[in-house]
Structure 1
Amino acid sequence: MNKTMLAALLATTIATPVFAQDRADDQDRTNRTTIIVIGARETEQARTEIERTPGGVEVVSDTTFKNTPVQNIKDILDYVPGVITQLRMGDDARVAIRGSGLSRAYGIRGITVLLDGIPMNTSDGLMDFFEIDPSAYRYVEVFKGGNALRYGSNALGGAVNLVTPTGRDASMLDARIDVASFGYVKGQVSTGGASGNFDYFATVSGQRIDGYRDHSNGDALRGNLNFGYRLSPTVETRFYVTAASTNQRIPGEVTKAQALNTPRAANAVWEAQDQQRNVESIRVSNKTSFTFGDTTLDVGAFYNWRHVDHPIFQYLDYTVDDYGAFVRVVDDRSLGGLRNRLTVGANLQNGTIDTNQYVNVAATKGALAASMVDKSGNLSFYAEDSLYVRPNLSLIAGIQYLDASRDRRDRFLSNGDQSGRRDFSLWSPKFGVLWEVQPGTQIFANVSRSAEVPSYDANVITAVNLRPQRATTYEIGTRGHRGNFGWDVSLYRSELTDELQCLTTGPFSACGIINVGHTVHQGIEAGVDATIPLSNSGDSLSFTGAYTYSDFFFDDDATYGDNRLPGVPQHFLRAELLYKHKSGFYAGPNAEWSPQSYYADNANTLTVNPYALFNLKAGFDTGKHWSIYVEGRNLTDRRYISTVAVAGVASPGSELFNPGTGRAVFAGVRFKW
């Protein structure tokens, strides 16, 4: 809006009679209501779509996390049963779904992360959360385990799809500022709108944090933009642009005693080396959708560029160039009097990682220690068919084929030539049944295969006989709503062959990958939500709970027998009780509880202590222009272990532990128009 237009608008507003201003206010309320309704409709449509899956899935609406600190991905996924998110420092977190990437202390693998349905993982499979702005999304889809075939994913942990608003469901202005303990400040502003066939949405955020621990300060600047155009009533194209610049110091893992007794101290060697992870990235993509009667077609392409400046035990300097394309056809029609929904698609994702590795001399580049170019190629085809043998009963069959290659060209030959190539050809079928017992109540079951190819940090070329991880997963469950009560329960068992473990072998090196012969991941994922009316005027109590039982163990291993797999707690509970007043005021406690020790090593010699965190939040949100909140976390200042790097055999002196954050207070204010 230019200055002339703004002046004209102000003049018109000042001169407007009272009755005309009332009409303007009515129009403002109508516009806000329209945006809210469209946003809610989009989220509900996504929930309806995802619940056609015969397995554990969930949609997390922004209404559950926008009026919270939303500092990192944990604030979004905390109440999704089956998902365990463990913070390391800053925005870095380890996310495990059904034991995916169980032994990793950094990054994630075994989960496909998508932004508006377009992959964010590098082409070799790795992903970290520094580039994600958790307050930028309309809703988040979670596909657990083998239930992510909709996007062609067949990883053990499934997929997480982050969905941004469009100009048709976004406010013209949405701004917020958050402040918290340990020097945390974040500001964000977004805008969106539509004119005829064109719409746009843009958001930018900036943050800085001193950090709870020494040497854990960081800052980030992130932006998301998408704009779409309806070429015709049956054709729409949309472009996405995402950019991020993040800088984060790394305090490093310490011994268990240090983590519990001096939790704010950094690892002295990591601090002396000034270890950091600094990332700059740009993502550009397009998706065009066509509708032909009962058939929809999505086609698109993407390019991801990332530069990582990463002084750790050595100084890593590398650039990632990824590109790809995708096509997906969904045909929903009647065949022989029976409804049939067929999904067929293909994904291409190729990329290059150009790496130079130097001796780290206090965060400056010393002598060259390694240099290589790693190329990844991935081509997958997938199909899934749902045949409704009865209006409320569907049989599902699916399959994915993955052709992958990993090619390394070593440019540093003084220690020998590490060049090489590996090719993988993997099939993963799936079968399931979905029964809608009655409206609002579903029962489901499925059996699926998954396959994961080692990533480059697993030293895929030079590791001896490193094989892809395979798993067969069996699942049964139910979900639904009855009045003010909702539930989502899944029981699963995954039988793995050649599980990829990333074991910490020394204090100053990246973890090394091994294959474990046979392991079992089984568990229970249970979520409930309930609303209890307290008055006829709208006051209520709401309860949300998420329980995850993770029974992971070796299966007659030659070295570790039937020991428990380390890395995550066996029992994990998140629960919240919230009082909501009709005025928009809300308040209540919530808790995080890990009631039992779990192991830090395969030998089961070193444990992580149980803990319980007590939190309290309050706020005011009328659903109109202004909202505010305040939240206290870990109010008892409990000392605990947040995440652990996994070892084969550990000792009390092993530096594997990251302490959790102490008592912290967050506050924020948000304005929408």
Structure 2
Amino acid sequence: MPSRPRRRPNGRSLALLLAIGPLAATAAQAENATLEEISVVGEGGGAGAGAAFAAPRAAADRTVAAPTPLDRPVGEVVTSVGREGVIENRAAATVADILRNSPGVTVRQGNGPRDVVVSIRGNNARATGVSRNMVVLEDGFPVTQADGSSRFDLVDPRAYSRIDVFRGPQSAYFGNFATGGALNFVTRRGREIDGVEIGSDAGSSGYLNNYAAFGGVSGPIEYSLFTSDTRGSGFIEHNSFNTQTINFLGTYTPEPEDRFTLKIINNEVFTLLPARSSLNQFAINPFQRGCLSAATAAPGCTTFNLLLNGRNGATVPVTATEGAFLRGDRRTIVGGRWEHDFDAFTTWRTQLVFDDRNINQPFYTTSSRGDFPGLNFLTDVTRHGDLFGLPATGYIALAYNTLDSHQLTYNRLPYLGPRLGALTADLDATQSNLGGRARVELQLSDQWTAVAGISAENTTITGRNITYGYPTGGGITSTLANIDRSFLNVAPELSLLYRPDEAWQFRGRVAAGYATPSASNLVVTSAGVPGNNTGLQTQENLGFDLGTDWTPLPGVRFSLTGFYEFFRNELVTQSPGAGLLSYTFNAPASEHRGIEFGADWAFAPGWRATAAYTFDDQIYTNYTEQLSAGGLTRRFDRAGNHIPGVPANQLLARIGYDQPTGPLAGLGGYVETVFQDGFALDNANLLRAPGYAIVNLNLHYTTALTGYAKRLNMFFEVRNIFDKTYIASAQNLADTISGATGLQNGANVLANTTGSVFAGAPRNFIGGMKLSF
């Protein structure tokens, strides 16, 4: 087997040199927990446009970080989803159970129990594993690596106090990859936990989650620790899993002017992976029952052809069980931050994060093994003061992150466990982003606030990818593809807020975003095999938002936002067929336009209604697709076609009641429906995944206790009450042509193409309890 070349030294030490500068880094990644919780549909300006310009607190009161633009997102389109009704009184098994409460968010099942693919405004809706086109933070520490990849295996929803969803282009605020927006996960602080909480959730398909939270304050130290062990047998054949998570946040404040924060996350995931079906197989056998062996497989079972010798020649069909498809991954993040107040108006923050993603993924026809260590450095200064005699908040920021990609790809061998065949690709690359950002929030009057920002960032990707071939006549061939790409991107932002009174807020915004390709995008060809794809360009978008927020009474919030975004060189990923690698291409021009509506209405004592609706219409405006088969090549104009993977309409609607007083105080329940429209599966729009609507029922009880225990929480849920069979995830499919006629193959061919569909969960039951001490 070919030996792996020795790596050359890289420029990672630049991160340490940057640490000497006392200026600037991304306020988008700064400390984040001084806001009062806004439940489910808080929009627009966080605590309100004027709140960002409140006088700083006295030094004696500043025991936590001063607010930053991340905490008080003036001019941004933001939803903040809190614990009430979403985490506290239900088993939020994945981040999908939380984020579907926000308008503009689409969630899909990924390759694992908690591997949810998240998209904002349809960006990334076409992916089936790694989430891209957004920046993800946790307590202000980045959990998106330098290649733009985010995974949610490490996220156990029980750990969080709230999640803030930033919608629309955000590169002026968050830098590279924020074309869709950003997510900021906020863990529960020690003073919020104030003791120990122990809980357990159990349900259908062997689901069991045992978890504990510890937190408190001791002098200058505040700490919180969350840990969980989650297991299940899965509702699809060959889908058992277990995953363990540790999440720690600690703050040390020796003096009011100085704060030190330590963040640690570690997640281990092991999951068997079922096969992705074709649309026709899904209709016959959605949960892949009776698929232990290809020789005795039931109708509708999905099989993959693996090379008998792992190198070339004859293949044999295997099921997911015979192929022993699985993922065994680890993610470790360690971050530190120092915050210093120069005075009551100026705060300097500096942080450094080490992030290592280690993968072992022998599933389908290839196996990937790799290690992806990265560093993320930032430093910023936030200043509250006056500009032209008007109250203003400004920041200047400098950020640098880098990722080393070391990935080996092998053929798979059939039977007897997850055996590896011959090495087919060896990727060794470094991706780095270096940029600066600046932002100013200016209060023009009591009613008007203006925001302006800009980001400039240089991205470099260097390395090489070697692909190996094994001719049937013997020997080994190798092809070297060198990677040396550089991208320079600039993104401005302008927004204007008008607040005539306490009930109404109107906002307009124009902003740009950019997302560069990653090294892995550059080394898979349109044939779905390792090779040269280094011609990809930066994805860019320019978005316009216009919206209003209305809060006429306590407990009543309505928000409406219209958006129109113009994309250039949109990065689209799709599958060329069963067992092949997904590849990425640039669509020259496209448009995304839609409406987002959120509502939270406490319409009577104990009663509350919640809604989150999104209309998202996405079309190609300039894209000609080239398809080849045999010796024929044909070109097809896709302008006017809908971009695959994006549902036009989706809705979450919930109505519930909690008894506020009397002997039954704390007893409550709600019913909710989750609706998602159908969507195209291919660029020609020949085939559509059907939409669905499922209904869930929740009952819960919370009561204070006397003695050693302080509080008891219990709940029981029936999910998918009417046992709807639906698609939870569908990978886009590449259109094909006939090798004989050159005509485009029809929907019947696509409907029989495997490697696309995962079914959603059938009717299932889950219950749990939590004790607080």
TM-score by length of 1: 0.90
For 2:374 and 2:484, locate their aligned partners in 1 and report how far apart those are by CA, in whole Å: 19
Tell me what 1:430 maps to.
493
For 2:690 and 2:174, locate their aligned partners in 1 and report how far apart those are by CA, in whole Å: 38
Tell me what 1:160 maps to.
183
C-alpha contact (below 8 Å) 2:503/2:551 kept by paired residues: yes
Q: Which moved more, 1:245-254 or 1:491-500?
A: 245-254
Are 2:309 and 1:268 aligned? no
1:170-213 superposed Cα distances (whole Å, 9 cap, x missing partner): 23101110011111000100101211111211111001111110
Are 2:424 and 1:369 aligned? yes
C-alpha contact (below 8 Å) 2:522/2:535 kept by paired residues: no
Tell me what 2:543 maps to.
473
Tell me what 2:521 maps to.
458
Tell me what 2:334 maps to.
284
1:399-430 superposed Cα distances (whole Å, 9 cap, x missing partner): 01111011123355632111221001000111
For 1:412 and 1:463, locate their aligned partners in 2 and report how far apart those are by CA, in whole Å: 13
**SS of 2:169 mapped into structure 1:** helix
Q: Equivalent of 2:106, from 84, 90, 93?
A: 84
Are 2:387 and 1:301 aligned? no
Q: Equivalent of 2:136, from 101, 108, 113?
A: 113
C-alpha contact (below 8 Å) 2:176/2:516 kept by paired residues: no
Tell me what 1:351 maps to.
403
Judging changes above 3 Å, is the alpha-carbon distance between structure 1 residues 275 and 264 closer, same or farther for their aligned structure 2 residues? same
What does 1:560-639 correspond to in 2, within 5 Å?
A: 560-582=638-660, 583-594=665-676, 596-622=677-703, 625-639=711-725
Q: Report deviation, 1:372.
A: 2.2
Judging changes above 3 Å, is the alpha-carbon distance between structure 1 residues 465 and 621 closer, same or farther for their aligned structure 2 residues? same
**SS of 1:415 mapped into structure 2:** strand
Q: Report deviation, 1:388.
A: 1.1
C-alpha contact (below 8 Å) 1:51/1:57 kept by paired residues: no
Are 2:457 and 1:402 aligned? yes
C-alpha contact (below 8 Å) 1:614/1:636 kept by paired residues: yes
**SS of 2:650 mapped into structure 1:** strand
**SS of 2:97 mapped into structure 1:** helix
Q: Equivalent of 2:580, from 474, 490, 509?
A: 509
Judging changes above 3 Å, is the alpha-carbon distance between structure 1 residues 616 and 602 closer, same or farther for their aligned structure 2 residues? same
Q: Report deviation, 1:153.
A: 5.6
Tell me what 1:318 maps to.
370
For 2:34 and 2:251, locate their aligned partners in 1 and report how far apart those are by CA, in whole Å: 20
TM-score by length of 2: 0.79
Q: Report deviation, 1:293.
A: 1.8
C-alpha contact (below 8 Å) 1:600/1:606 kept by paired residues: yes
Q: Which amino acid aligns with 2:257?
A: T
Tell me what 1:25 maps to.
none
Query: How large is the RMSD of aligned CA atoms in angstroms?
Result: 2.0
Judging changes above 3 Å, is the alpha-carbon distance between structure 1 residues 520 and 340 closer, same or farther for their aligned structure 2 residues? same
C-alpha contact (below 8 Å) 2:242/2:270 kept by paired residues: yes
Q: Equivalent of 2:443, from 388, 393, 402?
A: 388
Structure 2 alignment gaps of length 5 or more: 1-31, 48-68, 289-300, 305-318, 469-476, 524-530, 625-636, 705-709, 736-746
For 2:180 and 2:275, locate their aligned partners in 1 and report how far apart those are by CA, in whole Å: 26
Judging changes above 3 Å, is the alpha-carbon distance between structure 1 residues 196 and 577 closer, same or farther for their aligned structure 2 residues? same
For 2:234 and 2:598, locate their aligned partners in 1 and report how far apart those are by CA, in whole Å: 32
Q: Which amino acid aligns with 2:618?
A: F
**SS of 1:135 mapped into structure 2:** helix
Are 2:174 and 1:123 aligned? no
Q: Which amino acid aligns with 1:222?
A: T
**SS of 2:205 mapped into structure 1:** coil
Q: Which amino acid aligns with 2:657?
A: Y
Are 2:256 and 1:225 aligned? no
For 1:567 and 1:95, locate their aligned partners in 2 and report how far apart those are by CA, in whole Å: 12
1:324-365 superposed Cα distances (whole Å, 9 cap, x missing partner): 211122111123431111122121111101111112124122
Q: Which moved more, 1:597-606 or 1:51-60?
A: 51-60
1:144-164 superposed Cα distances (whole Å, 9 cap, x missing partner): 122474444661111101111
Structure 1 alignment gaps of length 5 or more: 1-37, 535-539
Tell me what 2:557 maps to.
486
**SS of 1:459 mapped into structure 2:** helix
**SS of 2:481 mapped into structure 1:** coil
What number of residue pairs does the alignment pair up? Answer: 630
C-alpha contact (below 8 Å) 1:240/1:286 kept by paired residues: yes
Are 2:387 and 1:335 aligned? yes
Q: Report deviation, 1:143.
A: 0.8
Q: Equivalent of 2:769, from 665, 669, 672?
A: 669
Q: Which amino acid aligns with 2:77?
A: G
Tell me what 2:198 maps to.
175
What does 1:5-154 correspond to in 2, within 5 Å?
A: 42-43=36-37, 47-48=46-47, 50=71, 52-63=73-84, 64-88=86-110, 89-147=112-170, 149-152=172-175
C-alpha contact (below 8 Å) 1:371/1:411 kept by paired residues: yes
1:458-496 superposed Cα distances (whole Å, 9 cap, x missing partner): 126921521110111011111242213101221101100
**SS of 1:121 mapped into structure 2:** coil
